[in-house]
């Protein structure tokens, strides 16, 4: 690992002893070597720290924070890489050559900044992202945060994650980046296996997320855009789609939906 690696992989943890080892192991298995792992732990009360594998790739620091986004902001300030990637505890890279393939894309395309994004797995369901991000796509469908690589210059230009959001600060940041003309580059490879779950899919979490999404829309989209996109969303049966994507629907429906979306996004 160099003093200024190409990638900083950020893992934010709190009482994650059952999950953190698998996440870090999936990073350490990468065939590409020019990266560091920044583990920001919020002073876990369990044995999270003892579950972290020993490696000179890992830089661990512990401090109290106000939540996951505060921890991520602290880790950004500690990271030394040109491109930053976030894996939550329980998430994993989709394959052992993800970083090698992303590095090859950066070299071959002469990428110096912006945001790179790819596809992801939700459990065993493959989710393909569009080749081009559009305002309506972002309005309707947040990109998977764990499938994105952020140039450090993006944070230098836009600042950090907004701590007034409890669930949707990563979505707010992506929309803000797009609206500020930060380039998005599609990688066309699976990046991560996203664990999901947690507070964002609980009944209370969904209420909070819905309110935060409305705030994001009002902040980053004009009144005309909101009217136009809400009409399109209504015509696309958003409530039905949300139910199909939830754990309440039969698994075969979720799989059918993702297959249909993947064909469209091709």
Backbone angles phi, psi at 106, to 5 degrees: -60, -45
Q: What is the per-residue pLDDT for 236?
A: 66
> What's the rounded Cα separation, in Å, for the pair 158 and 176?
8
Q: What is the per-residue pLDDT for 237?
A: 61
**Bridge-partner residues for 148, per DSSP?**
117
Q: What is the mean pLDDT of each run of 10 residues along the chain (266 residues)?
A: 87 96 97 98 96 96 96 97 96 97 95 95 86 93 95 97 97 98 96 78 79 96 95 71 58 61 52
Domains along the chain with CATH numbers: 7-197 (3.90.550.10)
Q: What is the Cα Rg of the chain in Å?
A: 18
Question: pTM for the whole thing?
Answer: 0.87
Residue 174 exposed, middle or buried by CB count within 10 Å (0-12, 13-18, 19+): buried
Percent of the chain at pLDDT > 90 equals 74
């Amino acid at each position: 690992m160099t003093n200024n690696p190409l990638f900083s992989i950020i893992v934010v943890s709190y009482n994650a002893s059952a999950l953190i080892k698998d996440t870090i192991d999936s990073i350490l298995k990468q065939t590409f070597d020019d990266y560091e792992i920044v583990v920001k732990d919020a002073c876990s009360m369990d044995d999270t720290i003892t579950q972290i594998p020993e490696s000179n790739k890992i830089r661990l620091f512990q401090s109290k924070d106000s939540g996951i986004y505060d921890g991520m902001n602290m880790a950004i300030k500690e990271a030394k890489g040109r491109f930053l990637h976030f894996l939550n505890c329980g998430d994993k890279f989709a394959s052992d050559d993800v970083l090698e393939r992303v590095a090859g894309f950066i070299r071959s395309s002469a990428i110096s900044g912006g945001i790179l994004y790819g596809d992801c797995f939700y459990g065993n369901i493959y989710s393909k992202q569009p080749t081009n991000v559009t305002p309506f796509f972002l309005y309707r469908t947040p990109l998977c945060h764990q499938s994105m690589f952020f140039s450090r210059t993006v944070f230098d230009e836009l600042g950090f994650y907004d701590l007034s959001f409890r669930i949707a600060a990563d979505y707010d940041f992506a929309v803000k980046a797009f609206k500020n003309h930060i380039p998005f580059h599609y990688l066309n490879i699976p990046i991560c296996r996203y664990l999901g779950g947690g507070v964002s899919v609980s009944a209370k979490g969904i209420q909070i997320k819905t309110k935060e999404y409305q705030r994001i829309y009002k902040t980053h989209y004009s009144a005309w855009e909101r009217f136009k996109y809400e009409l399109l969303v209504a015509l696309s049966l958003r409530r039905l789609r949300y139910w199909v994507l939830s754990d309440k629907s039969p698994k075969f429906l979720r799989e059918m939906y993702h297959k249909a979306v993947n064909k469209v996004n091709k």
